[in-house]
A and B are shown apart, each in its own frame.
Chain A
Amino acid sequence: MSFLYIKRRLINVLACTLASLAMLIGLIWLGWILFSLVKNGMPGISWHTIFSITKSPGGGGGLLNAIAGSFLMVFTAVLIGTPIALFVGTYLTEFGQQSRLAKAVRFVNDILLSAPSIIIGLFIYQIYVMQVHHFSGWAGSFALALLVIPIVVRTTEDMFLLVPDNLREAAFALGAPRWKVILHVVLRVSRTGVLTGILLAVARISGETAPLLFTALNNQFWSANMNQPMANLPTVIFQYAMSPYVDWQQLAWSGALLITLFVLSLNIVVRVIFKQKPPIH
């Protein structure tokens, strides 16, 4: 009896220790990765790095064109993707609801959400880059937009569903037309949640590399022309990290630090300010 008791106690202690250890391992990974980033990336961060463009190895280049390109493409992608996603979300909750089409759209949206991002890049390559015969900033933006849409559709739908039907009915009873109910009641009530979805989508696509490899490619020079191959931070990091040149590798680390700081602070801001568990991981 007492042996069984001790055995149960021991197993319990062992399990709790292992669980704490697992937690510790998770935190160690995070700490280790962040530490490596700061240690290797920090020495390369200076005004010069941020305000001069990429140059050949040994030329003392910076990351300006890559940062600008990334910013431009992410901005365009959100500009293209968000309105489309808002309309789709509106269709799902306000019009389609449980219809067969709405169910199909929901299903397909989940597929897009789980599709590997490199497949999205491949798709944009086939339908856009192959047709115009050159890589371009637009192609990169389209690929990123296609990643934004499913995320925002999902959060928008979830948030719209949280709006009580009473509110809609009250507005209708006052004689409000449907578009006013959607715009001034549904969207207004859920705007924080919808914004959370958009910010999370920005965080997600800012670090995406795979879909840009076959679409925006890269550009060694300054270019604000969306019809040209466009420099972007993730691809520059990939190329420079894999290069044999020490100064390029240093730039890759600095770029990696910048991008991680941006993405993680966005994640933290979303969580702290909106005090809400993000609906999508």
Chain B
Amino acid sequence: MSSSFNKLFRTHRKIDRVVYGVSLFFAVLLLITALLIGFKLYQASIPSIKAFGLPFLWSTEWNPVLEKFGALVPIVGTLLTSFIALLIGIPISFGIALFLTELAPAALKQTLRILIELLAGIPSIIYGMWGLFVFAPLFADHVQPWLIENLGPLPIFGPLFQGAPLGIGILTAGIVLSIMVIPFIASVMRDVFEIVPDMLKESAYALGATRWEVVWNIILPYSRVGVFGGIILGLGRALGETMAVAFVIGNAHHLSASLLMPGASISSVLANEFTEATGKIYNSALSELGLILFGITLLVFLCSKLLMKQLHKR
């Protein structure tokens, strides 16, 4: 009797140890894989790093025939499109979050929230197609001529809006990206707005504050850190987005002052050129672009981690 119990006990101990071992193994494997991503990208970029050195970061040249490469155009394209996306996306997301928490009728709240979140579910390639075939032509016919005519001649901002109404380009990519980041930012903002204690809001209302004053003076200061967190989440999305941008940015390797001209982003260059890249240096330069993108998103990620830490401290 006792020996059979011991046997059973030992069997279960053995299974326990196996479960522990396998879990530990995969956890460590995940850790190694993530480190390996950075290392492999670096390894693949070594020829390019050796050939071009640091000036790779600020050279605008991109010549596969002469094998001369520089990353400035795609870096600027990535940062600029993401910046435009945030510029448009933040106010709209703020409005949506405000509407969902303070204005929407209770019966509609859930449905509206899900509809906005569905925007995040649409695959990015769909945004790209829609941007290229539906949005860009309308934009070129109806909006860009107006921008060129009315904003082009302005003294400081003018050069940003000069050129031909092509439809595609940096500005179009930024606008399409803004649609993609809205659900992410709005959803985080809504979450942090919801956790503002009702007591605080009601006190302000009792003192005669208007709805807007409650939002601006109570809700926003209270949820500041979370709002920043949401914005950074959106930024991370925008920086790494590939397909939507690849369709509409125009894929031109030259730097232009005008937002209406075609450009390139790191991810769009990778998507368009990687499989066709012949030659070691070309391939390696593309990998280095990937490494730079990974670095940028890592930086953004670390910022958001720091912010979230602050959020949890309170």
Which residues from chain A sit less than 8 Å from chain B, CB to CB?
A: 8-9, 11-12, 14-16, 18-23, 25-27, 29-30, 32-33, 36-37, 40, 84, 87-88, 90-92, 94-96, 101-102, 104-105, 107-112, 114-120, 122-123, 125-127, 146, 149, 153, 177-180, 182, 203, 206-210, 213-214, 217, 234, 237-238, 241-242, 252-253, 256, 259-260, 263-264, 267-268, 271, 281
Contacts and interface: CB of A to CB of B under 8 A. Distances in A.
Given A19-B95, A26-B92, A116 B30 contact: no
B101 to A, nearest CB: 10
A241 B95 contact: no
Given A33-B122, A88-B30, A241-B132, A119 B240 contact: yes
A19 B103 contact: yes
Given A20-B99, A119-B294, A182-B19, A210 B123 contact: no
Contacts of B92: 22, 25-26
Contact of B26 (A40, A91, A256, A267): A91
A10 B122 CA distance: 38
B311 interface: no
Contacts of B102: 19
Nearest to B287: A122
Interface of B: 12-13, 15-16, 19-20, 22-31, 33-37, 40-41, 43-44, 91-96, 98-100, 102-104, 112, 114-130, 132-134, 179, 182-184, 186-187, 210-213, 215, 233, 236, 239-243, 247, 267, 270-271, 274-275, 287, 290, 293-294, 297-298, 300-301, 304-305
A174 to B, nearest CB: 13
Contacts of B301: 110-111, 114
Contacts, number: 258
A225 to B, nearest CB: 20
11 contacts: A14-B212, A19-B102, A22-B95, A23-B95, A23-B96, A26-B119, A123-B36, A123-B41, A178-B19, A179-B16, A267-B121
A56 to B, nearest CB: 20
Contact of B34 (A12, A95, A108): A108
Given A11-B212, A115-B294, A213-B274, A264 B121 contact: yes
A267 B117 CA distance: 9
Contacts of B287: 122, 126
Given A119-B37, A259-B126, 15 more contacts: A11-B212, A12-B210, A12-B213, A33-B122, A40-B133, A87-B27, A105-B28, A112-B33, A119-B41, A122-B287, A123-B36, A127-B36, A213-B274, A237-B125, A264-B118
B312 to A, nearest CB: 14
A207 B124 contact: yes
A109 B30 contact: yes
Nearest to A21: B95
A33 B126 contact: yes
A207 B93 CA distance: 24
Residue among B25, B96, B133 facing the most chain A CB atoms (10 A cut-off):
B96
A228 to B, nearest CB: 16
Given A105-B31, A108-B30, A213-B274, A116 B240 contact: yes
